[in-house]
């Protein structure tokens, strides 16, 4: 058996906010416009290039002067556990036919410095206005007997395509406010095309055929979110305002009580160091 889910005693909230005025922020621009029907979604999706799951909504609409930055790191504090291993030798011929080695769990990816990967940092409250969903859909693939990406984020109304790149049966199972699914998918040409409408954080996907398969999808109402990368870092470019910042991770929770509230001014960088512990 791998690690257990220890509940750690709650400590003090360990994060700090400091404001550093900066000029000349380098910002990316992402186009945003509404999509329409499933055929258009499929056309917009490059199914050979699966969304990596770690890209950000470091989002700009062209008005770069009217933004501030929220940046920082998500750090895990506590006992370390190795990934859970599903040995190749314990798998049935279906997965053995596409894998060359054991599968490692991705639910708790922490580096030597405590950086926690795949934490979702998003603006939970305070974003004004309506933000059109990107026209390009998000793709959740069942490939090599795992979900790729392991963690995905979609915007309300954005196209969401579930596909199976393996030439054998997976069964997509999920239950949430958006949809309950129990859908066998047995060939690469089979797609499930969605456009979910409700904000929801941490929707679990499982496969009945392969017990270790697990993926997570969150639905947010705007583009101000990011998944932490290998170094646990995050960076959001947001309009000036006062925001409640949310942090979610499938295996960890934020340490301490209270909310992460940040007042963002134009051109300033606000640094949040967020400490997590096991759930």
* Residues in contact with Cu ion by the rule CB under 5 A: 170, 207, 209-210, 213
**Widest CA span in the chain:** 58
For residue 270, count other CB atoms closer than 10 A to its CB: 21
Nearer to Cu ion, 210 or 249 (CB): 210
Count, residues in the chain = 279
Q: DSSP H helical segments within 83-211, as ranges? A: 93-96
The dihedral of CA 10, 202, 225, 172: what is its sign?
positive
**Least CB distance to Cu ion at residue 171 (A):** 6
Nearer to Cu ion, 80 or 187 (CB): 187
**Least CB distance to Cu ion at residue 84 (A):** 16
Nearer to Cu ion, 127 or 140 (CB): 140
**Least CB distance to Cu ion at residue 279 (A):** 25
Residue with tokens 């990107």: 134
**Least CB distance to Cu ion at residue 170 (A):** 3
User: What's the CA gap between 182 and 172, in Å, rounded?
Assistant: 6
- From the list 217, 52, 61, the residue with the least C-alpha distance to 132 is 61
For residue 91, count other CB atoms closer than 10 A to its CB: 18
Residue with tokens 């791998």: 2
**Least CB distance to Cu ion at residue 215 (A):** 11
Nearer to Cu ion, 170 or 255 (CB): 170
Nearer to Cu ion, 81 or 212 (CB): 212
């Amino acid at each position: 058996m791998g690690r257990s889910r220890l509940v750690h005693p709650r400590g003090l909230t360990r994060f700090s906010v400091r404001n550093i005025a900066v000029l000349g922020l380098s910002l990316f621009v992402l186009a945003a416009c509404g999509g329409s029907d499933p055929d258009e979604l499929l056309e917009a999706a490059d199914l050979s290039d699966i969304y990596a799951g770690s890209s950000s909504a470091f989002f700009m609409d062209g008005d770069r002067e009217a933004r501030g930055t929220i940046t920082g790191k998500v750090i895990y504090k506590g006992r370390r556990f190795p990934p859970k291993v599903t040995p190749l030798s314990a798998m049935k011929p279906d997965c053995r036919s596409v894998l060359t080695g054991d599968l490692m769990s991705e639910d708790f990816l922490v580096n030597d410095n405590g950086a926690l990967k795949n934490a979702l940092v998003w603006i939970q409250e305070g974003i004004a206005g309506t933000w059109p969903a990107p026209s390009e859909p998000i793709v959740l693939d069942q490939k090599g007997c795992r979900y790729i990406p392991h963690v995905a984020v979609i915007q309300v109304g954005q196209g969401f395509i579930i596909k199976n790149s393996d030439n054998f049966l997976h069964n997509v199972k999920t239950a949430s406010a958006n949809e309950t699914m129990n859908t066998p998918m047995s060939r690469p040409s089979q797609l499930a095309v969605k456009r979910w409408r409700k904000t929801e954080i941490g929707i679990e996907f499982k496969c009945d055929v392969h017990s270790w398969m697990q993926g997570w999808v969150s639905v947010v109402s705007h583009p101000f979110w990011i998944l932490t990368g290998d170094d646990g870092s995050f960076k959001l470019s947001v309009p000036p305002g006062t925001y409640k910042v949310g942090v979610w991770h499938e295996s960890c929770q934020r340490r301490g009580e209270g909310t992460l509230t940040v007042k963002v001014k134009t051109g300033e960088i606000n640094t949040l160091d967020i400490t997590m512990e096991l759930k």
